[in-house]
Structure 1
Amino acid sequence: MEFLVAYIGTAIVFFGLDFVWLSKASGFYKREIGPLLLPKPNLTAAGVFYLFYIAGIVYFAVMPALNGGGWHTALLSGAVLGFIAYGTYEMTNLSTLKGWSLRMCLVDIVWGTALTGVASVGGFWITRAVA
């Protein structure tokens, strides 16, 4: 039950923040990688990413924080996970795709690090309040 509450809480925070970011930063993405973007996002692929990534956040950051680590454990573990995940994706794209900019890479790594850290803390607090 605790994992489910943590999953839902983390997902709410993650989706909410990512929605705001993607809405506000859409012009940035179009400028940086416009020719590579699909006319419409592949929602199935995005959904699969979100399902698995949220589970990873809960497993690697939220649950250890709930099991005695505290909110700072959620923040640090989430930020490290975000840095590794987004960094891996971005550096792979930078090294293999024509037109992937260094600016895009750096902005997205910072965003993924912050987003995952904050979503981890949010998931931790929500779970503490509900479960």
Structure 2
Amino acid sequence: MLAIFGPKLRPEEISERLAIDPDYFHSRDTKDIQNEPLEPHWQLNSKLGPESPLNDHIWELLKRVASVRRELKEITSKHDACFYASVEFASPDTKGIRLEKRVMLLLGELGINLEILPWEGEDFRT
């Protein structure tokens, strides 16, 4: 997913500036389970299945924002932006994740961080 977040973020403003409807968002009025306010958040999800390589997911999201990359770069100069990926490591023999050079260059140019969140598979203990 591509997430844009920050204490002063207004999700409706992001949607308007990018002319893209988010797959998920919440405003500063949203509260967590302890009734604490959540940081405002705007997000796009990859439409690819979980079997697709990480690079394909990133490219799918980058294509969706390609026509508004200048606006996105302005937004990321004011708010945090991150690609999040959740990856299951099913065995000790699983290869690592390798990002294409051009993906890393584009993410850096757009001011977007990448966070990979590994989670434990059913049969593998880390």
TM-score by length of 2: 0.33
Which structure carries more strand by proportion? 2
Considering Cα pairs closer than 8 Å and 6+ residues apart, tell me whether 1 or 2 has the greater RCO. 1
| Structure number having the greater helix percentage | 1
